[in-house]
Amino acid sequence: MLKRVVFTLAALALAMPAHAQEAPTVDPDHLLDVLKGAGYPAENFSHEKDYRQLLISKPGFHQYLVEMYDCEDGKTCNTMEFFVTFPMDHPPTREAIAAYTGPHEGATLDTDRRGAPRMVMDVFLPDEGLTDAAFLEQVHSFETMMAGFNNFLAGKPAEDAPAQAAAAGDAAPAPAGTS
């Protein structure tokens, strides 16, 4: 009996349709609509077949990008990350950036080719797809980390980061049910 159950389960697993094993994707045009619907000043920055960028330019905040790679005809993309640089006249050393202990879970802190500090956060795309609410949570999380890192770079106390992130969140309120 046990062999029959195991054999049946194995046969069902082999018979699963191929689409059940496909990687999750995101639609850049839909994400742009979600950002605008939530009050974010966002626009297409790069529209190529295999690579898309959305630029978010909130007043009083650093501009940052939602970058999407591995796209098919610019419509469905398999990889997404948030990216921001902090141009400075006198940027800190890589060692100083590495010593930053503020909130940056899931983000990489480094310098770009010109030496400017940067933050990059890969966005996990769940198998069931990325919901609008989950996307906006990622945006808010990135902005909170950006605010803390920006305060660190400016030499401000760490406790100012949540207040700046909250102010940024007030500028673009999330739709009901996403908090």
Q: Where are the domains of the chain?
A: 23-170
How much is the pLDDT for 129? 87
The residue whose two tokens read 């797809």 is 129
Contact 76, 25 (CB under 8 A): yes
Contact 68, 53 (CB under 8 A): yes
Please report which residue ranges of 1-119 form alpha helices under DSSP H. 2-14, 28-37, 94-98
**CATH number attached to the domain at 23-170:** 3.30.1460.10
Residue 23's CB is within 10 A of a number of other CB atoms, namely 10
Per-residue pLDDT of the chain (179 residues; tens, 9 = 90+): 444 433 333 333 333 333 333 557 899 999 999 999 999 999 999 888 889 999 999 887 789 999 999 999 888 999 999 999 999 999 999 999 999 998 899 999 999 999 999 999 999 898 888 999 999 999 999 999 999 999 999 988 765 444 444 444 444 433 333 32
Q: What angle do CA 114, 120, 121 make, to 5 degrees?
A: 180
How much is the pLDDT for 22? 54
How much is the pLDDT for 176? 33
